[in-house]
Structure 1
Amino acid sequence: MAQTPRQRLANERFARAEAAKRGKPESVTKRAPKPKAPISTGWIVLLAFAICGGLVFELLRVVPELWSSISSFFSR
């Protein structure tokens, strides 16, 4: 089966990249793997909601009480 022009270009690009790597130490040609987090993003979001969500709900409960206290203090 003959190569298509697209395959030929891809093969030439690959050959050039491999020729550029030839003769260099392996550490230069290989990239370091990206470190993975020990905990997934979903668990972090859930934990943040559990910690900060309680604070938000508590503020929603306390703010009207504080506002009424402040307004009654100034209305005297």
Structure 2
Amino acid sequence: MVQTPQQRRANEAFAKKQEVKRGKPEPVLKKSVPQKSPINKFWLFALLFVVCGGLIFELLRIIAGYF
């Protein structure tokens, strides 16, 4: 079924009103930006060293206490 010119104009006017309500569409292909870590790698490794290093030294102290 073919639209009449009057129907076509009415449909275009309706589409424009709906577009204003929704806002502008986002681009279909959006470049993804790699997410940056909230903590610096240096501080992450420092924290890991303090926690794991402390556990390792504690285990060595316990093992050395048996001898």
Matched with 1:61 is 61
3-state SS of paired residue (1:33): coil
**Structure 1 position 32, deviation (Å):** 1.2
Flag structure 2 segments of 5+ consecutive residues without an equivalent: 1-25
**Structure 1 position 40, deviation (Å):** 1.0
Q: Percent identity of the aligned residues?
A: 38
Pair 1:49-2:38 in alignment:
no
Matched with 2:19 is none
Runs of 4+ in structure 1 deviating by more than 2 angstroms, as ranges, are none
Query: In the alignment, residue 63 of structure 1 is paired with which amino acid?
Result: I
Report the structure, 1 or 2, having the larger helix content: 1
The count of residues paired between Structure 1 and Structure 2 equals: 42
Pair 1:33-2:33 in alignment:
yes
Structure of greater relative contact order (alpha carbons < 8 Å, 6+ residues apart): 1
TM-score by length of 1: 0.47
TM-score by length of 2: 0.52
**Structure 1 position 31, deviation (Å):** 1.4
CA distance in 2, matches of 1:65, 1:50: 22
